[in-house]
A and B are shown apart, each in its own frame.
Chain A
């Protein structure tokens, strides 16, 4: 290491943290150079692996003392480069904070450390008939801290909401190193809501209280094969119009099905232009009722084959292809970009047609996987990194897909976050005033911009003087009706 500030900081970390929790060896450091988005890389200055909130707070305070930026990292599965380290900074990794601290079924909640994986929570309560509802496809590995930071979603969020709807409390270490408890019970500003989805720019979550949900009485999963994406899309609209909110409605196009087939042999119907997965859950009587309607709708909109999972194994088999789709694309293409955009559901057909045109225009293949129920597209833009120019063209296509989403009143990200990858699209979606206003929140939490700087917002902004120097003593304090905290 050549940076003298980091050298000194490393020595201080060594004094503070348990043995083996400070990494400075370059070969080791480099293994942390990227998250799930591998084309952004930076070797961290130092990596620390704290085991307690106090250690995190102490590490953050030290960073503050030396004016060194820090970046939080959970399992490093983020797809927007949110956990991209800083060469001049410290990477604070929560992978050793993975205890489930409390399970409180009567109050339907669990308290966990940030490094606990999403799935581990469900596994801990499954036998008692509960689960943790948000289910990102990466649930077996992504950390709950990372979920909080990204406000992660999943297939079942259509009915049950996203991470933010399932977080009851947080203990956070603020960018100035204080430990603060935030509870959904608290009156005052919804700091909990502001922190969830802030991508590590407002501090580090060190303890998380999640809501546990009751396992539904019945689950029915149906797979319908359509000749074309349009047919599938029509079915989705008709299901929604019928007043049904399924637990999940997922769609894959022919190319995505091909990849999944190659990877996990999911055996989806042959010749399908689109495969629709609809899952209904809830009270048995309700599910049965809705299932009949969904099946009818699928037939009416032209499904040529419908399969219904009769057992947990068959359900898993149906989901397997969908859940492995991202990584599976590696089997049919040397390289690919996972895109994440959202459009109003009614704009889906137009946007998909637009993506088709882009494929032709640039000679780039795009496999489509999407959460059709909420208009969240995951186009997988395929390219050969060995073919000159293809990477650039793929990047262009990927960017133009986002333009399409914005044009249709959608969003540049539905669940993967802005991170470093999409910050440049933020000005397309938001005005300068919008971004400046968001920045006010940032400045309130982190006036020195040390917590994951360079993410989310396109241009670093200075927070300036802390404003609002009070004009004299607060009148309530003066009159003895309130105390200054």
Chain B
């Protein structure tokens, strides 16, 4: 934990109201300001006590605090460093360790995830039992969406009309398994906007899960860089907020690696889909889409990448579409990567809170750029019994408009 980074914090508290754990519990130790204070205690010699570790573990890594901070505190860096220290110095209880191992063994690997899909469906029925064994297992089961028809994407999708750019596309581990249609929509939108889309077939995990949990992500990062270097693209477009944010950090992750890795990472122009489309400017005609949309700011997009206005801009530009804001939009829905697996209690509370706000918009469709968020909020809405809402990725909404499919095309799974 870098004392210089800690010192940037002037203790103003501006970060408190958007911190999900502070919103839930209203206590200093579970606020960004409090966590930074805990870090400084550690730097000053206090060992990592179980209490301290608990407050760091409870952090969702949503980075709302980074957005809110006027002093430019790099909480993102701080918490990553801290998690690494916690992993190193803090001995966890055995069952907690087991759950963590399970998640890290499964999620970053597409094939393992695929294999898991069926058993997970089974698990849905076993949820009460799993819940009793460990709440995390229950959470895993609850989140699983119904299986998606596999979509096979070609290695290259050609631009429609004049080619304006050649871009790479990351398909994402969870996305490609549970939401393959989003990847398909993304590729189509890019192509319709004049991009050749290169989709390297053997791309691995980008390392997001590890990075956000204090584990070593360097191996994943290097592999991903190599993959896209080979693809020969001008930019890498990412439609999963969590993956995008960690890929944008590659240069930082690899800064001490020999072999010019940091420069290679920096050369990879990583862009979120919405960010990229706004940069590129629209050419394809938008067809009317008469729906009301509630747009959810995925933390890894809004806070980690600062992409807030672009998706809204794209959505508003669709004729007939009405965009509604969700109250407390800066507060995390509780999904945050592996959070709902490790901290099912608070994740659930945050999900419920978010679901209430989303339902209050009375929109037809909930749109976000992160499959984790959609899964989380949809589950919470189901649980609440107050009503459900179709969910869609920004790419799917754009796809429906560009292709003139009409409102009904949205949210079909």
Where the two chains meet, the residues of A that have a C-beta atom closer than 8 Å to any C-beta of B are 20, 23, 25, 27-28, 30-36, 38, 49, 75-77, 93, 95-96, 98, 115, 117, 119-120, 138, 140-142, 263-264, 324, 326-328, 330-331, 334
Q: Are the C-beta atoms of B27 and A117 separated by less than 8 Å?
A: no
Q: Are the C-beta atoms of B16 and A75 separated by less than 8 Å?
A: yes
Q: Are the C-beta atoms of B13 and A138 separated by less than 8 Å?
A: yes
Q: Are the C-beta atoms of B49 and A141 separated by less than 8 Å?
A: no
Q: Are the C-beta atoms of A330 and B72 separated by less than 8 Å?
A: yes
Q: Please tell me if B71 contacts chain A, counting CB pairs below 8 Å.
A: yes
Where the two chains meet, the residues of B that have a C-beta atom closer than 8 Å to any C-beta of A are 7-8, 10-14, 16-17, 22, 25-29, 33-34, 37-38, 41, 46, 49, 51-52, 55, 68-72
CA distance A20 to B27 in the complex (A): 10
CA distance A38 to B6 in the complex (A): 13
Q: Are the C-beta atoms of A141 and B34 separated by less than 8 Å?
A: no
Checking B27, B68, B72 against A331 with a beta-carbon cut-off of 8 angstroms, the contacting residue is B72
CB-defined contacts of A115 to chain B, threshold 8 Å = 26
Checking A23, A30, A38, A98 against B41 with a beta-carbon cut-off of 8 angstroms, the contacting residue is A30
CA distance A96 to B31 in the complex (A): 13
CB-defined contacts of A20 to chain B, threshold 8 Å = 25
Checking A23, A31, A36, A96 against B12 with a beta-carbon cut-off of 8 angstroms, the contacting residue is A36
CA distance A145 to B230 in the complex (A): 60
Checking A34, A38, A141 against B16 with a beta-carbon cut-off of 8 angstroms, the contacting residue is A141
Checking B13, B22, B68, B71 against A328 with a beta-carbon cut-off of 8 angstroms, the contacting residue is B71
CB-defined contacts of A31 to chain B, threshold 8 Å = 28-29, 33-34, 37-38
A334 CB, nearest partner CB in chain B, Å: 7
Q: Are the C-beta atoms of A264 and B29 separated by less than 8 Å?
A: no
Residue among B27, B34, B37, B68 having the largest count of chain A Cβ atoms under 10 Å: B27
A67 CB, nearest partner CB in chain B, Å: 26
* A-B residue pairs in contact (CB < 8 Å), sample of 14: A25-B49, A27-B52, A36-B11, A76-B33, A96-B27, A98-B26, A115-B26, A117-B17, A140-B17, A142-B13, A263-B70, A263-B71, A330-B8, A330-B71
Q: Are the C-beta atoms of B13 and A141 separated by less than 8 Å?
A: yes
A335 CB, nearest partner CB in chain B, Å: 9
Q: Are the C-beta atoms of A38 and B34 separated by less than 8 Å?
A: no
Question: Of all chain A residues, which has the CB nearest B52?
Answer: A27
CA distance A93 to B25 in the complex (A): 12
Checking B10, B26, B29, B68 against A28 with a beta-carbon cut-off of 8 angstroms, the contacting residue is B29
Checking A38, A142, A328 against B11 with a beta-carbon cut-off of 8 angstroms, the contacting residue is A38
CB-defined contacts of B49 to chain A, threshold 8 Å = 25, 27
A420 CB, nearest partner CB in chain B, Å: 15
Q: Are the C-beta atoms of B38 and A27 separated by less than 8 Å?
A: yes
A474 CB, nearest partner CB in chain B, Å: 46
Question: Of all chain B residues, which has the CB nearest A124?
Answer: B327
Given A27-B51, A331-B71, A331-B72 in contact, is the A95-B27 Cβ separation under 8 Å?
yes
CA distance A263 to B70 in the complex (A): 6
CA distance A120 to B14 in the complex (A): 14
B324 CB, nearest partner CB in chain A, Å: 12
Given A95-B26, A330-B72, A331-B71 in contact, is the A27-B16 Cβ separation under 8 Å?
no
Q: Are the C-beta atoms of A330 and B10 separated by less than 8 Å?
A: yes
Question: Of all chain B residues, which has the CB nearest A75?
Answer: B13
B406 CB, nearest partner CB in chain A, Å: 31
Question: Of all chain B residues, which has the CB nearest A21?
Answer: B27
CB-defined contacts of B29 to chain A, threshold 8 Å = 28, 31
CB-defined contacts of B37 to chain A, threshold 8 Å = 30-31, 33
CB-defined contacts of B69 to chain A, threshold 8 Å = 327
B35 CB, nearest partner CB in chain A, Å: 8
Question: Of all chain A residues, which has the CB nearest B35?
Answer: A31
Checking A25, A27, A324, A334 against B70 with a beta-carbon cut-off of 8 angstroms, the contacting residue is A324
CB-defined contacts of A96 to chain B, threshold 8 Å = 25-27
